[in-house]
Amino acid sequence: MIDVLFVLDDKTEVPAIVNKAAAMFSVARIPASDIKPDHVARARVVVVHAALRSVGHVERIEQASDETRRREDCIYVAKGIDRAGIVQAESIGIGRVFAAHQPLDDVFTAIQAILNRELSNKLTGHPASVVQAVETTDTLVRQVAAAMRADAPLPLRLLSASSQSIGVAVGSGGLMQWINAVELHHSQTSRHIMMVAGYADAFARTLGLSGSDTALFTEASLLHDVGKLFIPISILEKAGPLSDAERKAIMTHPLRGAKALKRDNAAHPLVIAAARSHHEYLDGSGYPDKLAGDQISPLVRMLTIVDIYSALTEERAYKAAMTPRLAITQMAGMKGKLDARLFAAFRDMVLNPVFGSQRSARSAENGPVQDCLANGIHPLDCGVFSHTAGQRAAG
């Protein structure tokens, strides 16, 4: 499935609206003369941006989509001052019609509203805590993305609320319930951010971290890929091999994300460091700074493990999802790159047969007094594990 199908006048035309949309959504385009029901069936939203002067074009659009889809999932954007297209669009029941003089942001808001409605429908039946956490985090990601594209201050007021809501969802229903809901999201980037945040919360609970450390780690996970919001979806979610230029573009995301977080002085320094350094490895072979050993904080070491595992176990446009055991096996081969003790603890967590369904509501009295991550202390040296648990994680 793609997010938006643009129906245009001819095969060569690439209007500004298409290029701008490609930075926010997965898109495809097709001439009105070629549109078929299969094209509409593979798109969540259809945007008609054509003059519609041809009766044949109007008929093909009508034949390719039923009345309900045209009313609920279709948008018409006029090409100029000629009202003929608007009249034609309204006559076949297209639900949202925009004149040429209206801002493109209004069109994108309408697209997002349709996608939000689809997500809300898919989440029907999931616990209220899970739905709230998905919706809160989705809003956070969209607001941050819009601010980054506009070079505006990042709206991080939702960051704490998102972290807390994920904690409630994971703690009350178990991680797999969260993962199953997140997999329904239309955006690969948003799915990854939410999955990493869920694994981060669960890992922090397993390590027995304090509430403030857990919140810090979850917030870092929510913003670790913020730099990818600068990169067009057409590159991030490309089904085929990346070109050298596309790969280089993606590799800029740690620096771009850290720069965006740093400019407003609103994010915690460790969150900024996580955005910049989550692709660094202990052996110095990572990027962008070739950090090694003690140069990499415990929080970043944890995030790197969670990020890699989540990426391996997610289905992407270009690959199938790995099983947990296969992902752990592949990560075990990254000798010298990952923190061995933290990886052992994470491995034991995700391979535990009852792990995904465990509920672990946090309370102030069962958390450690000392903050480990915030003070740069390795969690397994912080006294939050019992002696037995520490031995098991290190084995």
Pair of tokens at residue 262: 């740093």
Identify whether residues 139 and 220 lie together within a single domain.
yes
Burial class (CB in 10 A: 0-12, 13-18, 19+), 245: exposed
Identify whether residues 363 and 289 lie together within a single domain.
yes
Which CATH number goes with the domain that contains 172? 1.10.3210.10
pLDDT digits (tens, 9 = 90+) for 5-21: 999 987 777 888 998 89
Pair of tokens at residue 197: 């945040």
Q: What pLDDT was estimated at residue 356?
A: 62
Identify whether residues 105 and 130 lie together within a single domain.
no
Identify whether residues 51 and 166 lie together within a single domain.
no
Is 219 part of a structural domain of the chain?
Answer: yes
Q: Which of 113, 142, 170 is where one domain is finished?
A: 113
Query: DSSP state, 359?
Result: -
Identify whether residues 82 and 133 lie together within a single domain.
no
Q: What pLDDT was estimated at residue 359?
A: 58
Rounded distance, CA 48 to CA 391, Å?
Answer: 62
Rounded distance, CA 280 to CA 301, Å?
Answer: 9
Is 237 part of a structural domain of the chain?
Answer: yes
Q: What pLDDT was estimated at residue 387?
A: 37
Identify whether residues 153 and 263 lie together within a single domain.
yes
Q: Which domain holds residue 387?
A: 126-394
**Span between the terminal Cα atoms of the chain, in Å:** 43
Identify whether residues 86 and 203 lie together within a single domain.
no
In the three-class reduction of DSSP (H, G, I as helix; E, B as strand; rest coil), residue 8 is classed as strand
Question: What is the full per-residue pLDDT of the chain (395 aa) written as tens digits?
Answer: 899 999 998 777 788 899 889 888 889 999 999 999 999 999 999 999 998 888 999 999 999 999 999 999 999 999 887 788 999 999 999 999 999 899 999 999 999 999 999 999 999 999 999 999 999 999 999 999 888 888 888 888 899 999 999 999 999 888 999 999 999 998 888 999 999 999 999 999 999 999 999 999 999 999 999 999 888 888 888 878 889 999 999 999 999 999 999 887 778 999 999 999 999 999 999 999 999 999 999 999 999 999 999 999 998 877 889 999 999 999 999 999 999 999 999 999 999 877 766 655 444 344 445 899 999 999 999 865 543 344 333 33
Identify whether residues 186 and 49 lie together within a single domain.
no
Is 119 part of a structural domain of the chain?
Answer: no
Which CATH number goes with the domain that contains 96? 3.40.50.10140
Q: What pLDDT was estimated at residue 261?
A: 92
Rounded distance, CA 124 to CA 337, Å?
Answer: 41
In contact, 151 and 185? CB cutoff 8 Å: no
Identify whether residues 103 and 182 lie together within a single domain.
no
Tally the domains of the chain: 2
Q: What pLDDT was estimated at residue 361?
A: 46
Identify whether residues 252 and 315 lie together within a single domain.
yes
Burial class (CB in 10 A: 0-12, 13-18, 19+), 171: buried
Is 252 part of a structural domain of the chain?
Answer: yes
DSSP codes, 29-96 = EEEGGG--HHHHHTEEEEEEES----HHHHHHHHHHS-HHHHHHHEEEE-SSS-SHHHHHHHHTT-SE
Strands (E), 268-324: none
Identify whether residues 99 and 144 lie together within a single domain.
no
Amino acid sitting at position 44:
R
Rounded distance, CA 152 to CA 175, Å?
Answer: 34
Q: Which of 52, 84, 113 is where one domain is finished?
A: 113
Determine how many CB atoms are found less than 10 A away from the CB of residue 356.
17
Is 57 part of a structural domain of the chain?
Answer: yes
- Packing angle between helix 175-182 and helix 188-207, nearest 10 degrees? 170
pLDDT digits (tens, 9 = 90+) for 78-107: 988 778 899 999 999 999 999 989 999 999
Is 118 part of a structural domain of the chain?
Answer: no
Identify whether residues 71 and 184 lie together within a single domain.
no
Is 216 part of a structural domain of the chain?
Answer: yes
Distance of CA 252 to the CA centre of its chain: 17
Q: Which of 68, 91, 113 is where one domain is finished?
A: 113
Is 227 part of a structural domain of the chain?
Answer: yes
